[in-house]
Amino acid sequence: MNRAPFVSRNPVGAHVPVAGGLSSVGLGYARDLEAEVVQVFVANPRGWATPVGNARQDAAFRDACAQESIPVYVHAPYLINFGSHTAATAERSVESLRHSLRRGREIGARGVVVHTGSATGGRERAVALAQVRTYLRPLLDELTHDDDPFLLLESTAGQGASLCSRTWDFGPYFDALDAHPKLGVCLDTCHVFAAGHDLTGPSGMHQTLDLLVETVGAGRLKLIHANDSKDVVGAHKDRHENIGAGHIGEDPFRALMTHPATEGVPLVIETPGGKEGHAADVARLKKLRDE
């Protein structure tokens, strides 16, 4: 597809640690990175606990981010799977995601990211998607406040019986949820690359974004997880690498920020290397954006 050059302004930031306090730890980490957007966990990402927030910390974090114009996003726990053949897992998923959405509103988050899950137990995809509708559609209907976050679906690297890994897989998922107005997409560059979308070459990134827009419509891409990949395209391995150090390389990230679908969409890194590596990746993405 031929198009005139398009340059967007994308806030660049990172997933930040919050153990010890959203405001005192998370915001301090973000400032050290010179992050323009942050993503946080509001519960143990590998558990089912739904902890109550600290109202003072919530208010300090929310107010500081608003004052500094830093968009906030929440990543829901990894155990959530609305396609599970185990009723207990599906029911726990409801409570876990409801908690993340509530906590997201309390800290002023624009969106809550949740993995799209898999059809476990050897069941057909259609059966699992019907169950996704049963459990997840009512949660979307609970998002009635003006300050409720969007629910952002994040596809996987295509391991096992994944319900959503290629861009076109978002179509049946959106259909199952009636393309609810509070539904959006979080695109993870490592995941879509691992799932089989070659983002390299002169048009790889733009072609993939074109496919996504054709599938879910304009305006549904709300967040990007900007991660390079330790493995080759189509490897179905979710192993993040620092920007430019993996098999995706720098050029596709530059192209990412010139596609109309990404205009104003924040980029969050989830890369290795701790604070030093994160700071380097944030700086690298800003440089690619501003060239």
Is it the case that residue 75 has pLDDT exceeding 60? yes
Classify 228 as helix, strand or coil.
Answer: strand
The answer to whether 167 and 206 are in contact (CB under 8 A) is no
Classify 178 as helix, strand or coil.
Answer: coil
The answer to whether 76 and 109 are in contact (CB under 8 A) is no
Bridge-partner residues for 240, per DSSP?
229
Cα distance between residue 215 and residue 222, in whole Å: 15
pTM of the predicted model as reported, rounded to 2 decimal places: 0.95
Q: Concatenated DSSP letters for 190-210? A: HHHHHHT----TTTHHHHHHH
Residue ranges and CATH numbers for the domains of the chain are 12-290 (3.20.20.150)
pLDDT at residue number 289: 96
Cα distance between residue 29 and residue 276, in whole Å: 11
The average pLDDT across 41-46 equals 96
Per residue in 176-187, pLDDT (tens digit) is 999 999 999 999
Per residue in 191-243, pLDDT (tens digit) is 999 999 999 998 999 999 999 999 999 999 999 999 999 999 999 999 999 99
Is it the case that residue 1 has pLDDT exceeding 80? no
Compute the radius of gyration of the chain from its Cα atoms: 18
Average pLDDT over the chain, rounded to whole? 95
73-77, 144-148, 251-255, range with the lowest pLDDT: 144-148
Q: If you ran DSSP here, which 8-state letter would residue 120 be given?
A: -
Which tokens go with 101?
């959405």
pLDDT at residue number 291: 86
